[in-house]
Amino acid sequence: MAHPAQLGFQDAASPVMEELLYLHDHAMMVVFLISAFVLYIITLLITTPLTHTDTMDSQMVETVWTVLPAVILILIALPSLRILYLMDEISTPHMTIKAIGHQWYWSYEYTDYENMSFDSYMTPTQSLAPGTLRLLEVDHHTVIPTNSPTRVLITAEDVLHSWAVPALGIKTDAVPGRLNQTMFTASHPGLFFGQCSEICGANHSFMPIVVEATHLSAFETDQL
């Protein structure tokens, strides 16, 4: 869960989100090194008299500053493509949940169970229990087992929505008439909060998502 004045990402709760954090740190280190080098060059140009005019027309310098940025971009692009394919990989999920966006709430269907579906509305401020989060708590949590690959089929009934849970590394659009899918694995128990990330209307900010990850034994007991 995010906290006030937080500058970084939320703690990862899935292997995909851990990979995304590694990619972010990798890219930020490259950006930091480039920024430091450019600042160093600018400082030299300002403070050092220009005595070596031969560098003004140097084929070697032009070759280096053309090839080096391309190499840096490749070093960033290869890990990015790897994670992109990992996020799109859907293989042997243990369970499937269908999430349907409405104006302005979510409906869920557990397709592996018979007649198991519910609507998830945001809990009004006056109905919040002590210690719960305003504008993020819902009346029905989406319960999943930990360490079990879970597929989510996402669609919408009326306008564009987006099912997003930052701690799990998920953000998938819900498009009317189209069925998108994503997959995640919760690595530990807990409550993971998200919201609709598409500007879907006046009450766009009141479509929270709460994913509750529990141990498999507790999940089977609660569901059955």
- Which tens digit of pLDDT belongs to each residue from 90-144? 888 999 999 999 999 999 999 888 888 999 999 999 999 888 899 999 999 999 9
In a domain, 61, yes or no: yes
The whole-chain average pLDDT of the chain stands at: 89
Is the domain of 109 the same as that of 181? yes
pTM above 0.85, yes or no: no
Sheet holding 208-214, edge to edge: 142-145, 208-214, 190-196, 161-165, 170-174
Is the domain of 80 the same as that of 154? no
DSSP reduced 3-state for 146? coil
pLDDT digits (tens, 9 = 90+) for 29-41: 999 999 999 999 8
Evaluate if residue 44 carries a pLDDT over 70. yes
In a domain, 1, yes or no: no
Number of domains in the chain: 2
Section 200-215 average pLDDT: 91
Supply the pLDDT for residue 124. Answer: 92
CATH value at residue 209: 2.60.40.420
